[in-house]
Structure 1
Amino acid sequence: MGESLPDEDVVPISFGPDQIVKVFIDYNSIPEHVTDPRFAIVDNPEDADALFVKQSWKQFAGLEKLINQFPNECVITFKDLIAVVGHWSDPDRVDEENFEHGPAWLPVTYNINTELPKFISYFQQREKRNLNNTWICKPWNLARALDTHITDQLSYIIRLRESGPKIACKYIENPVLIHFDDVGDVKFDIRYILLLSSVSPLKLYAYRIFWLRFANKPYSLDSLDDYEKHFTVMNYEDDFPLRQVHYDDFIPIFNNQYPEFGWEETEKKIFAMFRSLFLAATSKLYPKCIAPSPNSRAMYAADLMLKWTKDDSGNRSMQPVLCEINFCPDCDRACQYHPRFANDVLSCLFLDDIEDRPITEI
């Protein structure tokens, strides 16, 4: 069955200051951490005022509850679609020196199942210009680095289509690295939780407590098949050590290693990137973009890296680069290390309450 949109005359749901919101949650970790007395967890979705569910919701017409999903949000959660939608943020930008186009925060991306001739042409033009031609190829509908490959061989990329639909993203060959004395300079990525409470007008929030993942080996642009050098997802493999660094420990490490940039200014760039994406993803009518839905709310996980680039004056600069937006993210670590996380998320999404919480509107 296809997706239905909310009725045009739908009345937005709101709750009074003394009303207890009944929430049905089909989501790992979150229910047991909801301790805010303004919420009551119910076992039957029919009894709920608000639904927080993992299964993709399709029938928004006639829904008389709050729901943690928006119609057509796949335009940002599918890797092939986010490349198209994200490009709308700055379609006229051209970086002649690096032969790149589109917003600086979006890697050049091709769907190698539907855009193979364009990709081959672009690959060959980069080759002629002696530009780095390393690519990361991944399924548009999987996560956790499954069936993901890093290569600089065109023939290898072409053959990857045989194992399922793939996108090819320009690999970040000049990432910002973090130094640890026991291993050296390693790649890392950052995960933020984003909370979307409205599409029209756009109301987007960032949970300021973020999560970090690190490679296990010093970075260099070789041995592209060495997982522990080029990937940061270690928490799903028992054989790989997992380095845990909390955000409040990471910030002074970052500021000490990169005092000329500083985390406060870097985070402003990251938040501006998130807002640019969601403005693009809500800039056109359905089905090209996320559809307005007065009783929809959503939580996403945004994964990003930092890379070295140059500003307009030619000075070295850090540029955030979006890797992906995740639907139904794993919240185990969030709940484990920050017991208020579940209360904060529900308060923001269902009660519009961010007071004294680590949440910033962006």
Structure 2
Amino acid sequence: NDEMLIPVGDEDDADVIVSVKDFKLTTSAVKLNPEKHYFNQFPYESVLVMKHCLADCLRKIYGNCPYFQESYYGVTNLPAFIGRFMEREKLKLENTWILKPVNSARSSDHVITNNLDCIIRHMETAPRVIQKYLHNPFLINNKKIDIRLWVVVRSFSPLEIYIQKYCYARISSNDFDMHESNLMDWSKHFGLEDRDAGEYNVGPMFEVVEEAFNKTGEDGWKKMEAKIHKVVKDVFRAAVLYKPEIHNEKCFAIYGIDIIIDQELNPYIMECTFQPEFSLISEVKPTFLSEIYRCALFGEETGMHRLF
């Protein structure tokens, strides 16, 4: 319901092409006119949205990245991971890992385990990233949370990036529990009410998240927000350094950034999602879609915070 954003049925009548398919698949199927059309994704953005590519990007640019949990791509780095797992066992370090398919969403087919044999067996089923599981997350009322942010990229060169001021936290249905018998209990480890249906338990919204962090100290949420913004900025800086050809002046993109925070109030990026789901946030904030797309297409900053 925005007079400046009108859906049309024919690409010839469109100024903007919005697709959920891969850039190459879309550009081969749609008659993009570079003189007219804007497109809702950048070439080579797999460096951000594919889990193993993001891990490789951050590792190559920053080395031991402080806000990305230790990760290994099971297809190419399984021997290195096995060595690391055994080293941690010998040192008696916490040794729980999460296995993530490289191109999944909504925690689909994720596995949490501290069993090396289990990890090796799962590597045979699909390409996965093996990532150290955050065993000491920040909790709200003993429930695990992660925070979903929405980021608009208007340009990678120069960087022009905005973040939606409103966020929400996905909260686990039951109390967080790291006991071995509960590692695969989705109600304790993920903000999903119904894993099969993919329905999120979107518990505390922005105000409740803000309140929870303000209890950690003066200006608690403001300080946490600054830390999160730094993480997001560093991720997109890394993408440009790693893959300069990601920029295209006729492209824009909207990403969902998932952040988890530990008990020492350190934020970590979980993943970056292309063209994220908007229905939940739109129910709570009816102006959300208008603000996001007006920012992406016209550079308007209502409801947004500019990072670059």
Partner of 2:276 in structure 1?
329
Partner of 2:39 in structure 1?
67
The secondary structure found in structure 2 opposite 1:212 is strand
- Tell me which of 86, 105, 108 is aligned to 2:67: 105
Residue 248 in structure 1 maps to residue 207 in structure 2: yes
Partner of 1:304 in structure 2?
259
Letter aligned with residue 116 of structure 1: L
The secondary structure found in structure 2 opposite 1:157 is helix
Q: Distance in 1 between matches of 2:48 and 2:111?
A: 22
- Tell me which of 233, 238, 251 is aligned to 1:280: 238
Residue 340 in structure 1 maps to residue 287 in structure 2: yes
Q: Distance in 1 between matches of 2:252 and 2:40?
A: 5
Q: How does 1:233-272 map to 2 (within 5 A)?
A: 233-234=192-193, 236-237=195-196, 242=201, 244-256=203-215, 258-259=216-217, 262-272=220-230
Q: Relative to total residues, which structure has the larger helix share, 1 or 2?
A: 2
Residue 81 in structure 1 maps to residue 53 in structure 2: yes
Q: How far did residue 250 of structure 1 move? A: 2.7
Deviations 1:76-116 (A, max 9, x none): 1001100011223421xxxxxxxxxx111111100112111
Q: Distance in 1 between matches of 2:278 and 2:199?
A: 21
Q: Distance in 2 between matches of 1:243 and 1:198?
A: 31
The secondary structure found in structure 2 opposite 1:339 is coil
Letter aligned with residue 324 of structure 1: E
Partner of 1:47 in structure 2?
13
RMSD (CA atoms): 2.0
The secondary structure found in structure 1 opposite 2:95 is coil
Q: How far did residue 243 of structure 1 move? A: 5.1
Q: Distance in 2 between matches of 1:121 and 1:247?
A: 42
- Tell me which of 82, 90, 108 is aligned to 1:128: 90
On the 8 A contact 2:257/2:272 being kept in 1, the answer is yes
Q: How far did residue 290 of structure 1 move? A: 5.4
Residue 293 in structure 1 maps to residue 253 in structure 2: no
The secondary structure found in structure 1 opposite 2:135 is coil
Q: Distance in 2 between matches of 1:250 and 1:268?
A: 15
Count residues in correspondence.
Answer: 299
On the 8 A contact 1:112/1:168 being kept in 2, the answer is yes
Q: How does 1:92-241 map to 2 (within 5 A)?
A: 102-179=64-141, 185-222=142-179, 223-234=182-193, 236-237=195-196
Q: Distance in 2 between matches of 1:177 and 1:168?
A: 24
- Gap regions ≥5 residues in structure 1: 1-34, 92-101, 180-184, 309-316
Q: How far did residue 172 of structure 1 move? A: 0.2
Partner of 1:312 in structure 2?
none
Sort the Cα spacing of 1:110 and 1:41 in 2 relative to 1 into closer, same or farther, 3 A: same
Letter aligned with residue 54 of structure 2: I
